[in-house]
Amino acid sequence: MPGVIEGMKLHGPLYDMRALGFRSGSVVTVTGGASGIGKATVLAAVKSSLTAAIWDIDGIAAEAAVKEAEALGGRAAAFLVDVTDPASVERAWDATPALGDCCYLVNNAGPASNAEGSFLKNLEAALGSMDLVTSRWLERVGKGAESMVNIASIAGNFQGGGKSTSAFYPSAKAGVTGYTRYLATRHDGRPRVNAVAPGMTLTPRTVPFLANPAIAGNMERIPQGRPAYPEELAAAILFLLSPAASYINGVLLPVDGGWAVS
């Protein structure tokens, strides 16, 4: 039995989403923006006239992502940030506004679904860091904060997570949904706060897993019969961020090819 990704391309198209109403040059901060869904979101953002602040713990990968953004004709900057470290987050929020109006935030960074170690430590890294980044953003930007998207998962929200997933992960991702709904009600709708729940997605973390022939049977549960491309998640994220989604607030959007309802 072949692996899930045998013969598949690893990336989908990047769409120009300027028609969604973004103001050219407004800044979107993407945590974990140097790879996977985060990088796809950065590239879609700059193609759609936004400036991207790439926050990542891997400085080399973040600089490489800047070059990819610039090759698309966009504007981006890399910031070496550990989202679990308050001092690191403070420094990043000191520096990021130099790019422009920090209207948008995508909370994407977090530990892998199979990360080992303390349940509470991983829960703090996955969910507590999101509150740290968000609370500092709201303090700095205030009413200039327009919209944010948090990355949840179908794990913890529509399914248990499976045998290869650590206990903290579905727990944290269910928490992301609760946190999203909480924030959506707190500030008179500004910022709007939504979440996406990716299903199986092609990223550097998942490609080795999906290359295993034993995993191919999982695809039978997905009506579209394949994993998502990270660019497909990016398109959903950009839509929810955008002025075109101006009356969408507190939503969890599964982007999973129909897996959650199969």
- Residue-by-residue pLDDT tens, the chain, 262 positions: 356 666 667 788 899 999 999 999 999 999 999 999 999 999 999 999 999 999 999 999 999 999 999 999 999 999 999 999 999 999 999 999 999 999 999 999 999 888 999 999 999 999 999 999 999 999 999 999 999 999 999 999 998 877 678 899 999 999 999 999 999 999 888 899 999 999 988 887 877 777 766 666 667 788 888 889 999 999 999 999 999 999 999 999 999 989 888 8
pTM of the model: 0.94
| Contact predicate 146/192, CB 8 Å | yes
Q: Which residues are catalytic?
A: 169
The residue extents of the domains of the chain are: 22-261
In CATH, what class is 22-261?
alpha beta
Q: Provide the CB-side half-sphere exposure for 236 (13 A, CA).
A: 23
Torsion 49-190-30-85 (CA) sign: positive
**46, 35, 201, 31: which is closest to 105 by C-alpha?**
31
Q: What is the pLDDT of residues 3-48, one digit of tens each?
A: 666 666 778 889 999 999 999 999 999 999 999 999 999 999 999 9
